[in-house]
Amino acid sequence: MKGGNTTYDKIWDDHVVEELPDGTARLLIDRKLVYEAGSVQVFRGIRAAGRSIPNPERVLAVPDHVLPTHDRSPEALAGMPALLLEELERNSRDFGIEHIPLFDERQGIAHVVGPEQGFTLPGTTIVCHDSHTATHGAFGALAFGVGASEFEHIMVTQTLLQRRSDTMRIGFDGVAPAWIGGKDLILAAIGTIGARGGTGYAIEFAGEAIAALSMEGRMTMCNMAIEAGARVGLIAPDETTYRWLNGRPKAPKGAMWEQALAYWRTLPSGRDARFDREVLLDVSALAPQVTWGTSPEHVVGIDGRVPDPKDAGDAAQADAWTRALDYMGLAPGTAMADVAVSRVFIGSCTNSRIEDLRSAAAVLKGRKIADGVHAFVSPGSGLVKKQAEAEGLDRIFTEAGFEWRLPGCSMCFGGPFDSLKPGERCASTSNRNFENRQGRDGRTHLVSPAMAAAAAVTGRLADVRDYL
């Protein structure tokens, strides 16, 4: 191991089983997360081939994607949800995989549950059949999403053919202002390098503003590394990481903890680490961020305006901006703070953890949402929900006019139970504002939880700094 290696390189080198002549490597995959949607094909393939799953204790199954968050009665679950839940439970039982059932208080979104349970650990390789698996990189893990056929191969062989990525470090210089969190930092980064700027790279986030972030904020950032085109986003583990993990159910205990800690402390990139690309952002005067278009790179500060395609860098960008404005129903030059919303969603694997709910509740306390706004919050797991209720956050939300929902992916991807109607405009804490993402012809503005709460109170995109 070279002392100057990046965190990515160190983890990669520790997991190479075989180097192949074509430049690819057979990589050992430590841990796998499974959810109900998309896993049926995987298990059927394993069965059809007559295979078993070695080390099933390294797999964790949890339902999250196609679940109603307003109701869990048999009637609400009838049809596809019930079939997929039964299939996940049966497959987990047959292959000896730990399964967190629907009515277990630990149930929730896989990328919330994994870290919460201590299943996610520094220095490990983690996969799931979901693109936002990059979330787990917040712990100094090499985590990424894979397709169904790749996942089937991993489950049976515990390995995957991969080509080493180039490395990029995005440094965040300066102390971030109050109420600037992980969502604002990652949106600013995507706005800087573009939605394809990270293609081919493993991105490491670093700098003073990152060191000051909580684990929740770091997970938000790595979650959206995929929205910059990267397959991997990670943050080197530090004392914040270790404090957060210590005592988690699946985290090492006793002497094993000390051994793990000694290894984890070798993972941060060396001072002489060389990255293939470096980007530096000064965040000392960063305003809360909000998207205006149909890509996470379409982002400005809340004190900014909708851009004019005439000011685009080239013809292709001008065409993309024009199409985005047509879809979003916005005119160039419109002040972002003048854009009205009718829906607000707080949740998703990006922003549904306890810190996210606390920040939104701080804005909502003693206030009511605006007339005509439909708002709801879906905690990331049953344990987040339980903690929020113990702190009285649920009462703050409901007294303000929000619906207090059950855990699940919910409106993030415009699922069968929660989606926007054509033309509805939503301030959302999720990760994607693509066309039709949250419902056919729905219009999504990505914001932080605190910004979403401010939008609910005002009925328009609003600067949270005016309400705190």
What is the reported pLDDT for 157? 98
Sign of CA dihedral 414, 416, 418, 424: positive
Q: Each residue of 351-388: pLDDT tens digit? A: 999 999 999 999 999 999 999 999 999 999 999 999 99
The domain boundary residue, chosen from 164, 186, 220: 164
Taking every pair of Cα atoms in the chain, the longest distance, rounded to a whole number of angstroms, is: 64
CATH of the domain at 337: 3.30.499.10
Yes or no: say if 296 and 190 are a contact pair by the CB < 8 Å rule.
Answer: yes
Q: Give the Cβ contact number of residue 414 at 10 Å.
A: 20
Residue 2: pLDDT band with limits 50, 70, 90: very low
How many distinct helices (H) and strands (E) make up the chain? 16, 19
Kindly report the pTM of this predicted structure: 0.97
What is the reported pLDDT for 417? 83
Q: Each residue of 165-195: pLDDT tens digit? A: 999 999 999 999 999 999 999 999 999 999 9
By CB atoms closer than 10 A (0-12, 13-18, 19+), residue 51 is middle
Look at residue 456 and tell me if it is in a domain: yes
Look at residue 208 and tell me if it is in a domain: no
Percent pLDDT > 70 in the chain is: 99
Rounded to the nearest integer, the mean pLDDT of the chain is 96
Look at residue 286 and tell me if it is in a domain: no
CA–CA dist 328, 322 (Å, integer): 10
Label residue 23 left, alpha or beta by phi (over 0 means left) and psi (-120 to 50 means alpha). Answer: left
Look at residue 313 and tell me if it is in a domain: yes
Crossing angle of helices 393-400/354-364, nearest 10°? Answer: 50
Look at residue 205 and tell me if it is in a domain: no
* Between 417 and 65, residue with greater pLDDT: 65
Crossing angle of helices 354-364/382-390, nearest 10°? Answer: 40
What is the reported pLDDT for 4? 58
- pLDDT greater than 60 at residue 248: yes
Look at residue 376 and tell me if it is in a domain: yes
What is the reported pLDDT for 1? 39
Residues 155 and 298 in one domain: no
Residues 6+ apart with CB under 8 A from 289: 183, 184, 187, 188, 191, 299, 300, 301, 302, 447, 448
The domain boundary residue, chosen from 114, 136, 164: 164
Residues 320 and 458 in one domain: yes
CA–CA dist 170, 204 (Å, integer): 6
CA–CA dist 152, 53 (Å, integer): 10
The boundaries of the domain holding residue 321 are 291-466
In a 3-state reduction of DSSP, which class is residue 144? strand
Residues 6+ apart with CB under 8 A from 398: 404
Domain count, the chain: 2
In a 3-state reduction of DSSP, which class is residue 445? strand
DSSP code at position 119 = -
Yes or no: say if 464 and 452 are a contact pair by the CB < 8 Å rule.
Answer: no
**C-alpha angle with apex 149: 144 to 155, nearest 5 degrees?**
70
Quote the tokens at residue 63: 């339902």
Look at residue 221 and tell me if it is in a domain: no
What number is the average pLDDT over the span 96-104?
97
CA–CA dist 382, 40 (Å, integer): 24
Yes or no: say if 99 and 110 are a contact pair by the CB < 8 Å rule.
Answer: no
Look at residue 113 and tell me if it is in a domain: yes
- Residue linked to tokens 């797999």: 59
Q: Each residue of 408-459: pLDDT tens digit? A: 999 999 877 899 999 999 999 999 999 999 999 999 999 999 999 999 999 9
What is the reported pLDDT for 38? 87
In a 3-state reduction of DSSP, which class is residue 103? coil
The domain boundary residue, chosen from 134, 164, 194: 164
